[in-house]
Amino acid sequence: MMMKLTVEAEQLLEEPATSKAVPEKNGADVFIETLKKHQVEVVFGYPGGAVLPIYDALHKNPIKHILARHEQGAIHAAEGYARVSGKVGVVIATSGPGATNVVTGIADAMMDSIPLVVFTGQVATTVIGTDAFQEADIIGITQPITKHNYQVKDVADFPRIMNEAFHIASTGRPGPVVVDIPKNIATGIFTPREGETEAVNLPGYQPTTTPNFLQIQKAAQAISTAKQPLILAGAGVLFANASEQLKELAEKYQIPITNTLLGLGSIEGTHPLFLGMAGMHGTYTANMAIQTCDLLINIGARFDDRLTGNLNYFAPNAKVIHIDIDPAEIGKNVPTEIPIVADAKEALEALLHQNAPNGNTAAWLESLKVNQEQYPLHYDASGDRGLLPQQVLELVQEYTNGEAVVTTDVGQHQMWTAQYYKFRKPHNWVTSGGLGTMGFGFPAAIGAQIAKPDAKVVSIVGDAGFQMTLQELSLLQEMRIPVKVIILNNQALGMVRQWQETFHGERYSHSLIPVQPDFIKLAAAYDIKGYRIETYEEAKVQLKEALESDEPVLIDCRVVQKESVLPMVVPGTALHEMIGVKPE
């Protein structure tokens, strides 16, 4: 006999089994969805307790995750990825120690304007502030070294905050944004707020990208009347993808170009109008051009002290045009006659559009050519001094035809690379400029290779810096990433040693490292092929072989310890007071 059902029970039975048309989503699902919406293909990270829900959501998902062996490796890899791909680098770290381990990378990205969104786990909102297990105040810690940062306090805010984070990181002057995700936000059920749209609404953040017309007119006028104009091109040119326009402007008006360290690659290193890098270890010609030019056109550079030398004597005769997307950079260090707040590409296009008459710079170019011929970069390869780092770099340049992606740390090897590697294309140069981070170059190379799988990626590192992040050899092994690690091994903190020699009476206080690991055996431990190179003759043969390989390779170049980076602008002196310009 059938039971008599109440009306309510009948209705319940009639309801389809999937009465909830929209399945419940938690914070971690929203996280994945939003990453996809921003076309994030790869994230760099390291799991831990506070981000377990996020990792659980990643598990079911096609977004590629690169498991570095230390969070610092993850974030430098993301920086390398961002730098060569032009996309936002995404990092995930857990709370507490995971988050503090990415701090160096965040500061590095801030100084070099690299677009990153860093997600850090956090303890649950219910215990924030109680010194809970693996709790650290990452918002407080990262506030001075981020473009902006957020802590998600309500799951409903999560998509909006993520959208804003990607927007802020990638627009205007790029930079790192931290999003701190308490564990209960990742597990909390997401209910969208009523009436909330996808559009980013940030009234306090409106970067100016279009230049002021009157200032462009003034700049065009100044360019066509200058007798000795000079372009200083920084990383802003690269961020704006304005290399073509830069070249066009330089060629049209016959203006020589110099680069900042981070601006290298914005013009081909072999271009006849290119004078080499300027600054502390720049070329004599570039620095003298700055000191004698009558018009200095700064495009996307921030007049760092390593570039300007003593500011009191910097570019004494020059009228300054400064194009920068960040208004706070204009006039910060160097007084500017013609400020142009704009995206470098838009500004250059507007300038070209002006079609101002051509000035006559022939005599100026001629005098620079004389300098280039008389004072080229030089090193002493006489006698039997052993393998010189400059020789290694010239060979790398030759064997890769200037087309490799090159990454470095900070220090002597970095400066030699900047001096001797002639980049043919933009976005191939990845280095820690502003913060000067040892240990940056190797993981950055991994990120760069992931961004450009077909490119030849060479990581030039010092023996000391390499030992700060060499655990990422594990990634080369695991993923067979064909990065070529070239160690310029001088058994020292090279630049520290050089400064101690020059400024501290040759007292080498803790800068020499006579006992090094056997890097070849180390590579072997990771199943990576290793070469040890001790002479120039060996270098010519083995470096070629190593660079031609399709596999990851580690090359330990035993270079002369007592070799200094020259020429040099000693801190506190002016650019025209360079030392070591001519061979002694």
What ranges make up the beta strands (E) of 373-456? 405-408, 429-431
Q: Select 12 or 311, whichever has its Cβ closest to other proteins.
A: 311
- For other proteins (CB under 8 A), the number of binding residues is 17
Cβ at position 89, least distance to other proteins in Å: 20
Cβ at position 205, least distance to other proteins in Å: 5
Q: Is 60 a catalytic residue?
A: no
Confirm if 297 and 232 have CB atoms less than 8 A apart.
yes
- Counting beta carbons within 10 angstroms of the beta carbon of residue 137, is it exposed (0 to 12), middle (13 to 18) or buried (19 or more)? middle
What is the token pair recorded at 307?
């570039």
Residues whose CB is less than 8 angstroms from the CB of residue 96 and which lie 6 or more positions away in sequence, other chains included: 48, 50, 133, 134, 135, 136
Q: Select 147 or 345, whichever has its Cβ closest to other proteins.
A: 147
Cβ at position 44, least distance to other proteins in Å: 24
Could you give the 3-state DSSP secondary structure of residue 46?
coil
Residue from 331, 386, 436, 580 that binds other proteins (CB under 8 A)?
331
The one catalytic residue in 25, 183, 319, 484 is 183
CA–CA distance, 315 with 338 (Å, rounded to integer): 15
Cβ at position 340, least distance to other proteins in Å: 15
Nearest to 483 by CA among 81, 8, 188: 81
Residues whose CB is less than 8 angstroms from the CB of residue 195 and which lie 6 or more positions away in sequence, other chains included: none
- Per rule CB under 8 A, is residue 386 in the interface with other proteins? no
Q: Beta-carbon neighbour count of residue 384 at 10 Å?
A: 6
Query: Which range, of 82-90, 216-224, 323-331, 440-448, touches other proteins by CB under 8 A?
Result: 323-331
CA–CA distance, 551 with 559 (Å, rounded to integer): 24
What is the CA angle 443-467-47, rounded to 5? 50
What is the token pair recorded at 434?
């502003």
- Residue ranges in 180-239 that form contacts with other proteins under rule CB under 8 A: 202-205
Q: Is 495 a catalytic residue?
A: yes
- Per rule CB under 8 A, is residue 326 in the interface with other proteins? yes
β-strand pairing of 529-533 with 295-299: unpaired
Cβ at position 213, least distance to other proteins in Å: 22
The one catalytic residue in 495, 500, 542, 568 is 495
- Per rule CB under 8 A, is residue 327 in the interface with other proteins? yes
CA–CA distance, 308 with 569 (Å, rounded to integer): 9
- Residue ranges in 126-155 that form contacts with other proteins under rule CB under 8 A: 139-140, 143-144, 147-148
Q: Is 206 a catalytic residue?
A: no
Cβ at position 103, least distance to other proteins in Å: 15
The one catalytic residue in 33, 41, 87, 134 is 134
Q: Is 71 a catalytic residue?
A: yes
Q: Select 208 or 254, whichever has its Cβ closest to other proteins.
A: 208
- Residue ranges in 155-184 that form contacts with other proteins under rule CB under 8 A: 168
φ and ψ of 57, to 5 deg:
-70, -35
Which residues are the active-site residues? 71, 133-134, 183, 495
Interface residue list for other proteins (CB under 8 A):
139-140, 143-144, 147-148, 168, 202-205, 326-328, 331-332, 335
